[in-house]
Amino acid sequence: VGAGPSGLVAALSLLKNGVRVRIVDKEPNYRVGSRGAGMMPRTLEVMNMLGVLPDIERHCARIPPLQSYKPPHGVQPSQTWELMENLEPLPSRPFRRPVEIPQDVQENILRSHLRQFGCEVELGTELLNFVQDESSVTVQLLKHAENPLKPEVARFRFVIGADGAKGMVRKKLGLKFMGDTRDADELVVGDVEITGLNSDFWHFWSDPSSNSKTTISLRPSGSTRNYFSMLTVGHDLQKYDLTDPRNFRIFFHKISGRRDIILGHFRWLSYFKPNMRMANNFQEGHVFIVGDAAHVHSPTGGQGMNSGVQDSFNLAWKLSLVVKGYASENLLSSYSEERLPVISEMLQRVTSIHGKTFAGGELHGGESRGWTRGKALHMLGINYRWSRIVVDERTPRGVNGDELRCHAYGGHDNSLSAGDRAPEAPGLVIPTERRETSLFKVLKATHHTVLIFPCGQYSRAEGILRLLSSWPHFLVQTICVSGPGAHRYKLTADLNLLDRDGHAHSAYFVDQQPTIFIIRPDGVIGGIVRDEGGVARYFSRIFQNALFSEV
């Protein structure tokens, strides 16, 4: 329910896993506007696993440098800085810079991938009600384009609510939406056609002397040359009625002093007060919530769309296993278990950023901390080390789950444990084909990947492969990564790779001891184990035991 990025990623992930879906949205037309335009490195990795990244890269742009201007005329630059530090790619982290791509462009790309599975968004279709029983959800839908209007009653195994903060799914479930509304803080956002302004910078004007402490920014939209994404933050803005384009033009010229800049057509223009809230649970029975339906936050952190996409990617592979009968419904509770601490820490970080952004008066005094972001917002540190469905035989926890949850977002530097994102490893060679590949190119959003580092102990590795050979190949793929000089020994894995440059062994902290990494379909390391017993121990937490006894 809901066809924003969260709903579309959920639908696409399920379709790729062979699960039939319907995706409905009550809006009669597709939304326009840049909205959640910042795509973080971890989300780029998700898009890569879904096969969407090439289309994203064709339409995205780097986030330009930020530049503020001295009042009152707003022409002379006062500062130029970067929103985030420009980090160079690493072998294990190929995406280290966020990009911007308007949300309506994102959604169009995702819809095009849905169509490859014969799935179309059902516009103008409103969820009126739903009722759960022990095995399914009965929903009442209304297609507003039909005449006469006649509600449709349909039954589904599961429902995912991606219908936003004001949607009915969370409210119907009776879940608490904990947090607060910042009544004193106000934002006006939109997309506007601009004449007389270059696209080389993200432009800022502010009036720190005023009671409203207003800052107006204009960021090139990336995909459309003359359109800029506008963000206005301040206090006591509502009295200016800035959702009227005429009023906003007057207000912009007053704050910026730049009457030479012409604001033309507004694609959209909206006023709101920021909310920092999250639901107390993301699941109730057979109904789940993702994205803004589960949590909302200030747009100043650029985490909303990204967090919603990652909600859906975490949930979809688990749902697909349950729907197809390969896992019990007990697996589904791990969705909330894993995502709640991540969202909780994210809200704390974004709320802190929000406070600095609304402090005002920082753009002309040599400091721009309210408009600078740390690398934690790249989201590469997000982890589920405490999760009950991960297994780590290499690194004993040493601390309790509550302590680990406190680092759900920022992660742990210079270590790798079960529950962390799986690092990339380029320079892998397929000896039989004399072709180079990388780990990200062979991971699948439809399979668990058992990644074996034999470290010369090939008979031990074959024992593990014999165990896995009896398991369904449409659920589990096996990859053996050997060090340089071992390319002549071919194991019975689905894919044998030679770590020519040593990037895989380095990124996965593999020494001389054989180690097995079990990478989940969402690109998270579910298990780090040493032998067949460890492999079985991990999969016993995922699959139903009957699955393997019948194979």
Global pTM reads: 0.94
Pair 407, 530 in one domain: yes
Pair 270, 281 in one domain: no
Three-class secondary structure assignment of 107-154: HHHHHHHHHCCCCCCECCEEEEEEEECCCCEEEEEEECCCCCCCCEEE
Nearest to 507 by CA among 61, 72, 92: 92
Q: What is the pLDDT of residues 394-432, one digit of tens each?
A: 987 667 778 888 888 877 778 899 999 999 999 999 988
pLDDT of 533 over the 80 cut:
yes
| Token digits of residue 260 | 């030479």
Pair 133, 196 in one domain: no
The last residue of a domain, from among 355, 378, 401: 378
Pair 430, 500 in one domain: yes
User: For residue 442, is it within any domain?
Assistant: yes
Domain limits at 50?
A: 5-61+97-179+277-378
177, 167 contact by CB (below 8 A):
no
Q: What is the pLDDT of residues 256-271, one digit of tens each?
A: 999 999 999 999 999 9
- C-alpha distance across the termini of the chain, in Å: 36
User: For residue 216, is it within any domain?
Assistant: yes
Pair 253, 298 in one domain: no
Pair 233, 268 in one domain: yes
DSSP 3-state helix, strand, coil percentages of the chain (rounded to 5)? 30, 25, 45
- Of all helices (H) and strands (E), which one includes residue 194? strand 186-195
User: For residue 46, is it within any domain?
Assistant: yes
Identify the pLDDT of residue 86: 87
pLDDT of 221 over the 80 cut:
yes
Identify the pLDDT of residue 93: 96
Pair 154, 12 in one domain: yes
Pair 9, 124 in one domain: yes
Pair 188, 258 in one domain: yes
| Token digits of residue 53 | 């990244």
User: What is d(CA 547, CA 107) in angstroms, rounded to the nearest whole number?
Assistant: 37
CATH number for the domain spanning 347: value is 3.50.50.60
pLDDT of 548 over the 70 cut:
no
Q: What is the mean pLDDT of residues 483-489?
A: 70
Pair 322, 396 in one domain: no
Could you tell me how many residues make up the chain?
Answer: 551
Identify the pLDDT of residue 7: 98
The last residue of a domain, from among 378, 412, 433: 378
pLDDT of 105 over the 70 cut:
yes
User: What is d(CA 65, CA 365) in angstroms, rounded to the nearest whole number?
Assistant: 18
Pair 148, 186 in one domain: no
The last residue of a domain, from among 335, 355, 378: 378
- Number of structural domains, the chain? 3
Q: How many CA atoms lie within 13 A of 285 on its CB side?
A: 21
CATH number for the domain spanning 465: value is 3.40.30.10
Pair 432, 349 in one domain: no
Q: Which of 239-243, 273-277, 380-384 has the lowest mean pLDDT?
A: 273-277
Identify the pLDDT of residue 360: 60
